[in-house]
Amino acid sequence: MFRIINDTTDLMIESQWTNWTDEDLLLEYRYAGIREAFDEIVHRYERELYNYLYRYLGNAANAEDVFQKTFLAVLKGCEKFEAGREFRPWLYRIATNKAVDHLRKAKRFSVVSMNVPTGFDQENCIADILVGDEPEPFADEMDREIACEVREAVASLPEPMRQAVYMVYFQGLSYREAADAVGVSFCTVSKRVHQAIGKLNFLLKNVG
């Protein structure tokens, strides 16, 4: 199991590897077999990647399961990582593939949240409303109804569009990183994002 860094020894390890890039850490583990280097990578991405998987899968237990499977795949597949390649898009590609596999096996598609202006409030970002530390961040029934409409609209997007907009708008990946993560061209990601935003604006124009 990959765990959260929370004791004195781990804090010392974290400090030791602070200035190393993700790529160098993975290669250090690959060639020297130093597990602490790999643990530092897990520590760097544990919250970010877990949050991505939680909102992609809509369930904490599923997110934890896929998180573990993702880093296990990274651990086993580090020999395939090419020097000069960026680690973050590679990690997200593995995580996304694992998440999609999970959804296919479960024969269901869960909802995700994203950052997109809608008709009910052009100044609001959906991600700001949907993303919070509390399980239920909505103050009143109207907010909950709006959130439900947004989730349903996002869930109605074709899977490639959902992946692209979620990575770019919510996770903050660049178009290039998102393209690498899903294995398509920069132009393809750009097209998917813009098509998705147009579709969502149309679907949500009367919300609220």
More confident residue, 136 or 208: 208
Phi, psi (5° rounding) for residue 44?
-65, -35
- Convert the pLDDT of each residue in 28-47 to its tens digit: 999 999 999 999 999 999 99
Query: CA 90, CA 100: separation in Å to the nearest integer?
Result: 15
* Inter-residue contact 4 to 67 (CB < 8 Å): no
Neighbours of 14 (CB within 10 A): 15
State the pTM of this model.
0.65
| CB-based contacts of 98, cutoff 8 Å, min separation 6 | 66, 69, 70, 73
The mean of the pLDDT values for the chain is 77
Question: Any idea where the domains of the chain sit in the sequence?
Answer: 8-106, 126-204
The secondary element (H helix, E strand) that includes residue 30 is helix 22-32
Tokens of 70: 């993702």
CATH 3.30.300.170 fits 8-106, yes or no: no
pLDDT number for residue 66: 94
* Inter-residue contact 129 to 143 (CB < 8 Å): yes
| CB-based contacts of 77, cutoff 8 Å, min separation 6 | 94
pLDDT number for residue 145: 74
More confident residue, 47 or 4: 47
Query: CA 98, CA 117: separation in Å to the nearest integer?
Result: 29
The pLDDT of residue 201 is above 80: yes
pLDDT number for residue 35: 92
The pLDDT of residue 11 is above 80: no
The CATH number corresponding to 126-204 among 1.10.10.410, 1.10.10.10, 2.40.10.220, 3.40.50.300 equals: 1.10.10.10
pLDDT number for residue 152: 77
Residue bearing tokens 């439900």: 148
The pLDDT of residue 157 is above 60: yes
